[in-house]
Amino acid sequence: MSKKLTDGLTYDYLSAESAPTREDRIETCFAYGGSGHNLKEGIGNGCAKHNRRKFAQSGGCQLNLALGILSSFQNMAIILHGSLGCGSSHLSRSGLKKAAGASRNKKGSMDTVWIETNLDETDVISGGIEKLREAILYAETEYRPDAIIIASGCVPGIIGDDIDALSNELENQVSAKIVPVHCAGFKSKYVATGYDSAYHGLLKKLVDPRNRIHTTITDEIADANEKYLNSKTVNIFNVGSNSYGDEVELARLLKALDLNPRVLPLYANIDEISRISEAALNVSICATHDDYLLGHLKERFGTEYIIDTLPIGIKNTNRWLREIAKFFKLENEVEKLIALENAQLEEALEPFKEVLQGKTLFVGGGETRAFTTGEFFQSLGMKIVGVKSHNFDIFAVPMVDDVDKDDFVVSVAPGQPAEELNLLNRLRPDLYIGHSGANVWVAKLGIPTAPLFGQAFNFMGYSGAFELARKAVKSLQNTSLSKKLATNVALPLRQEWYESNPFDNIKDLEDVKQV
Amino acid sequence: MSTFIDRAKCTCALGGALTTLLALPKAVPIVHSSGGCAGTLSNTYNLSAGYRGAGYCGGTMTPTSNIVERDIVFGGEERLEEQIINTLKIIDGDLYFVITGCQVEIIGDDAVGITRRFKDQKPAVLAASTPGFSGNSFVGYDVVLTTLVNEFIDQKSEKAPKTVNLLGIVPGQDVFFRGNIREITRLLSLVGIKANTFFGDGESIDKIKDYGDASLSIVFSENYGVTTAKAFEETHQIPYITADLPIGPTRTAAFLRKIGEQLVVEKEIIEAVIASESQYFFSYFERILDAYVDLDFQRYAIINADTAYAFSLTSFLADDLGWVPHLVVINDDIDDLKKKEYEHKFSQLGSEAKPKVVFELHAGQLIKHIRKSWPNNQNNKYYHSLSPAYLIGSSLEKDTAQKIGASFLSVAFPVTNRVVLDKGYTGFKGGLTLAEDLISELVSNR
């Protein structure tokens, strides 16, 4: 059997109230600057030990990443157990979920119901459990949701509110399932822990395959049909950053192999989640998001999984498809599909290659997406001058080689635009492709930008490759906005900072360089 | 004791402090908290206040001490000091301001004490405790401004008789804060009054330092900004009055008369300004009258807003636009006496019909209040329905508007379905802008 990225990892944590942090579970680095080669060698040799900065800027919080998953479920109420600000991202998402659900044909998709326990000074001293109880009962009587999800923040995490005991107590008093999710922000510097926290709750309380109903008159044909369908069912695990267009494209490719793709868990309802294990294969599209979920499903239900690459660009989409096809012994079929798709796509990409050839690019964002997107544009003839990855762990190690051909700089930093702008000011790439929240600073620096992902863009699969190339070309067709911004809108960084080495900001980086 | 809230339309004290600092010219917040607080809260206002953006040093740029579990155990003061030193080195600001999150306050970090070590620093470094559990965003707004009033703004024994401080318009929570401030400032200048605005056009940290010369503070709320006004009164001997946000002709005329009386401006000057602004208003408002009366643009109005907007907005609809004010639902968390006082304002409305005013903490309950306010259709052949209706609220109410078949405009926070640049709804001009936005909705299906 071939070596898996997850070899050596185990996933039996459900007896604990919360998922272990990524720091504890997987060696992970979020402070590095230098060459890709050194970084790759560093993982496994203590690179991840340091991870501290002299000057830090605000990144994410695991609670918000957990909410990104949990708030997407259909007909579930979210209770934010914490002070008022923790759930405020729901305000900025107002209107989004309804649209996202409707585009996926989810019946009666509504905007999220979220309730804040609004912990105050008194609660900090005497505990917030009673307020949480009231909030749960209110959610049950007002909305009759299928599940009530408790996302628990920093205050209850520090004062020690026992949300699990309360959930157990109320479980038989309300018809909704109660799902405690421990996601206090201070617990982990590595925000991807939030995915594990969310899936920990989901696996514990919502994944619950019901027994088949015994019928007096057996229907062997129906049973055989269902068995047959399940034997060809592939779960594609979606993530908050992929679009509906991405889901359509990836499903199209699997259908072409006569497989039965099912996209979940985001935007799923309670039935779909409870029966998540009824598939022949679970496939990840981003290792950063779901190894905790897929690994656990394998241990509990024996469902095989593939965690390999992010299907962005031609090479990685081919690779993603081949891995799946290999499992179903469809090697010949997949080669035919790939040959056809690649030929059509290559031809369509020709005019874009002419524009992009020789242009320089810097990509910033989550590890797997940043590296695979870089690889794709490299294949179109662009020169990758740098990659800024929010984190770096074992899942991205094989991806570094794909971009390693050129002399490029790797910065590992969750956000940290000061370090990134310092680098970009030196490198001055023709184009920057970055994570939401980062592009605006780069545009103010005078560098044209394109978004790394977005709900309106299909960037995965073959159609996604075409769209990505189209997007980059469009950005370069008019770069006057960023030029105007550079002369008219100030950035807050001092000149002395731009002249200093950005990586001096990382504590103990010398040790890493010696590795 | 506070209660849980079904969809709160505000953030916490830290969020309020942050949105306030990000609206001050070239101010740099330093957030002593876990890594995600600043980014999350800033992002909420970035996206939900009509796409206001991260500003000069918000969003992912916000300096933060990034407290983790280790610091919770051993204390985060050293990390904060290191963060302040390096922020001063790297970030160019005219004012640095340390604000704190829940975690560090529970463990007892003395952020204000640490910041005192930088008291001789130029530009100034200030600090205040703003943990989320200490209150909502309006509390955070007052904490930041009170700190400026008490520790930063210079004492002036000589007051300028025609200079005022504007308070109570909370950046972000008022999605149109800059446009609103701009028009109020212009109106005041027409009657010879200079306004100190903190957040308006042309302000700077240097100018804010001189706000001690004002002779009056005007607070556009009975609830928010009053603490700051009291600090101005105690520290700088500047008295204050409260006023309703002047939206449209009726409220703006009332506002100008009130200010004229307070600051002893000749009546003739005030009346001349009201007359000329009114003439301006109707010269443009006249344009939509033909369509208004032929197509009947009069609507039953349902207003869901905070106390900063609810009355003024209702007054504009009832007194200037001629709509039927039906129901006003207010989500603020204020005490019963304040509720009574606020409700009393609605008796001033010039419309024959007066609205039902409801205080409801839970945004999710709006639909129930609407249903309660109007008899159900019992399968009657002739049913007098709540139609044509118009719901004016925040983006959260769009769903409800669809359910009851009402037209919809988002004015109160959060506003995620439209973009706001220099637009404002205050003054006679703001009334025109609001009428434009409301009635554009009615013809937008063409």
| Mean predicted lDDT score pLDDT of chain B | 97
Within-domain flag for B446: no
Q: B323 and B252: one domain?
A: no
**Across the interface, which of A110, A158, A417 has its CB nearest the CB of B61?**
A417
pLDDT at A432 over 80: yes
Q: Which CATH number belongs to the domain containing residue B333 in this structure? A: 3.40.50.1980
Answer yes or no: do B147 and B218 share one domain.
no
- B364 in contact with A, Cβ within 8 Å: yes
The DSSP symbol for A151 reads: E
Does any CB of chain B come closer than 8 Å to the CB of residue A441? Answer: yes
Portion 179-218 of B in contact with A at CB < 8 A: none
B19 domain residue, yes or no: yes
Q: Is residue B216 part of a domain?
A: yes
pLDDT tens for A319-329 read 999 999 999 99
CA dihedral A11, A12, A13, A16 (to 10 degrees): 180
Residue A406: predicted pLDDT: 61
**B305 and B409 assigned to the same domain:** yes
Examine the pLDDT at A1 and tell me if it is beyond 50. no
| Interface residue A256 vs chain B (CB under 8 A) | no
The span from the first CA to the last CA of chain B, in angstroms, equals 51
B283 in any annotated domain: no
CB contact under 8 A, A95 and B1: no
Whether residue B140 sits in one domain with residue B61:
yes
Q: Which residue of A has its CA nearest to B34?
A: A186
Query: Measured between CA atoms, how close is B193 to chain A, in angstroms?
Result: 31
Residue numbers in B near A140 (CB within 8 A): none
Query: Residue A141's pLDDT band (boundaries 50, 70, 90)?
Result: very high
Q: In what order do the strands lie in the sheet with A304-306?
A: A260-264, A233-237, A281-284, A304-306
Does a structural domain hold residue B426? no
Check B35 against A88: CB less than 8 A apart. no
Kindly list the distances between the CA atom of residue B306 and the CA atoms of A116, A118, B169, B172, B193, in Å, as whole numbers in the listed order. 18, 18, 12, 13, 28
DSSP string, A191-226: TTHHHHHHHHHHHHHT--PPPPPP-SS--HHHHHHH
Q: Are residues B181 and B56 in the same domain?
A: no
Q: Taking CB atoms and an 8 Å cutoff, what residues of chain B touch A154?
A: 34, 101-103
What's the farthest any 2 CA atoms get from each other in chain A? 81
Inspect the interface and report whether the beta carbons of B72 and A417 lie closer than 8 Å: no
Comparing B75 with A397, the larger pLDDT belongs to B75
Residue entry with tokens 């999984």:
A305
Domain boundary among B119, B151, B183: B151
Mutate to test the interface with B, among A54, A94, A144, A150 (most CBs of B within 10 A): A94
Which member of B4, B43, B395 has the closest CB to residue A89? B43
- B277 found inside a domain: no
Higher-confidence position of B94 and A101:
B94
pLDDT in tens, B125-140: 999 999 999 999 999 9
**For the range A346-350, what are the long-range contacts, defined as Cβ-Cβ under 8 Å and sequence gap of 24 or more?**
A346/A314, A348/A466, A349/A380, A349/A465, A349/A466, A349/A469
> Residue B104 above 70 pLDDT?
yes
Q: How far is B128 from chain A (nearest CA, A)?
A: 16
For residue A11, the one-letter residue type is Y
**What pLDDT is recorded for position A508?**
74
B209 vs A2, more confident: B209
The CA dihedral of B438, B443, B445, B446, to the nearest 10 degrees, is -160
Are B124 and B18 within one domain? yes
Q: Determine the 3-state secondary structure of B299 from DSSP.
A: coil
Give the C-alpha separation, B61 to A420, whole Å. Answer: 11
B137 and B171 part of one domain: no
B106 to chain A, closest Cα gap in Å: 8
Q: Say yes or no to pLDDT of A511 above 60.
A: no
Nearest Cβ partner for B36 among A64, A115, A124: A64
pLDDT at residue A211 is higher than 70:
no
B136 vs A84, A89, A113: nearest CB: A84
Q: Is the pLDDT of residue A401 over 90?
A: no
Checking if the pLDDT of B428 tops 90, the result is: yes
Q: What is the pLDDT of residue A213?
A: 61
The residue out of B213, B240, B262 marking a domain boundary is B262
Task: Check if the beta carbon of residue B66 is closer than 8 Å to that of residue B93.
Answer: no
pLDDT digits (tens, 9 = 90+) for B305-355: 999 999 999 999 999 999 999 999 999 999 999 999 999 999 999 999 999
Amino acid in the structure at residue A473: V
Interface test with B, best of A22, A28, A55, A58 (most B CBs within 10 A): A58
- Count structural domains, chain B: 3
Q: What is the pLDDT of residues A488-498, one digit of tens each?
A: 999 999 999 99
A114 touches chain B (CB under 8 A): yes
- B7 vs A131: CB contact, 8 Å cut-off? no
**Looking at the predicted structure, is the pLDDT value of residue B81 above 90?**
yes
Assess whether B139 and B35 both reside in one domain.
yes
Q: What is the pLDDT of residue B445?
A: 87
Return the pLDDT at A398: 85
| DSSP secondary structure of A472-494 | HHHHHH--HHHHHHHHHS--SB-
pLDDT of residue A30: 85
Question: Average pLDDT for residues B280-302, to the nearest whole number?
Answer: 97
ipTM for the predicted complex:
0.95
For chain B, say whether A61 makes contact (Cβ under 8 Å).
yes
Q: Tell me whether residue B26 is in a domain.
A: yes
Instruction: Give the per-residue pLDDT at A512.
Output: 46
Does A55 sit within 8 Å of B86, measured CB to CB?
Answer: yes
Of the partner residues A59, A94, A158, the one whose CB lies closest to the CB of residue B396: A94
| Model confidence band, residue A217 (pLDDT cutoffs 50, 70, 90) | confident
Name all domains of chain A by residue range, CATH numbers in brackets.
Answer: 62-205 (3.40.50.1980), 220-333 (3.40.50.1980), 350-514 (3.40.50.1980)
Mean of the pLDDT values across residues B369-384? 94
B399 vs A: CB within 8 A: yes
Residues B25-29, mean pLDDT to the nearest whole number: 98
User: In A, residues 459-478, which contact B (CB 8 Å cutoff)?
Assistant: none
Task: Read off the pLDDT of each residue in B163-177 and give the average, rounded to a whole number.
Answer: 98
Percent of chain A having pLDDT more than 70? Answer: 95
Same domain, B24 and B99: yes
Q: Please give the pLDDT value at position A44.
A: 58
A360-399 tens-digit pLDDT: 999 999 999 999 999 999 999 999 999 999 988 888 888 8
pLDDT in tens, B115-125: 999 999 999 99
For residues A64-88, average pLDDT? 95
A189 touches chain B (CB under 8 A): yes
Both structure tokens of B129:
């405790």
Model pLDDT, residue A402: 82
Q: List the domain range (segments joined by +) for residue B95.
A: 13-151
pLDDT number for residue A215: 67
| Residue B32: inside a domain | yes
> For residue A428, is pLDDT > 70?
yes
Report cis status (omega within 30 of 0) of the bond before A265. yes
**Chain B touched by A437 (CB under 8 Å):** yes
Same domain, B180 and B143: no
- What is the pLDDT confidence band of residue A515, given thresholds at 50, 70 and 90? very low
Give how far Cα A373 sits from Cα of A191, A252, A369, A389, B169, Å: 21, 21, 6, 12, 44
Which of A260-269, A390-399, A489-498, B165-174 has the least mean pLDDT? A390-399
Mean pLDDT value across chain A: 92
Please compute the mean of the pLDDT values over residues B240-264 and round it to a whole number: 97
Chain A residue with CA closest to B39: the answer is A58
Do residues B139 and B169 both lie within one domain? no
Co-location of B216 and B98 in the same domain: no
- Would you place residue A507 in the very low, low, confident or very high pLDDT band (cuts 50, 70, 90)? confident
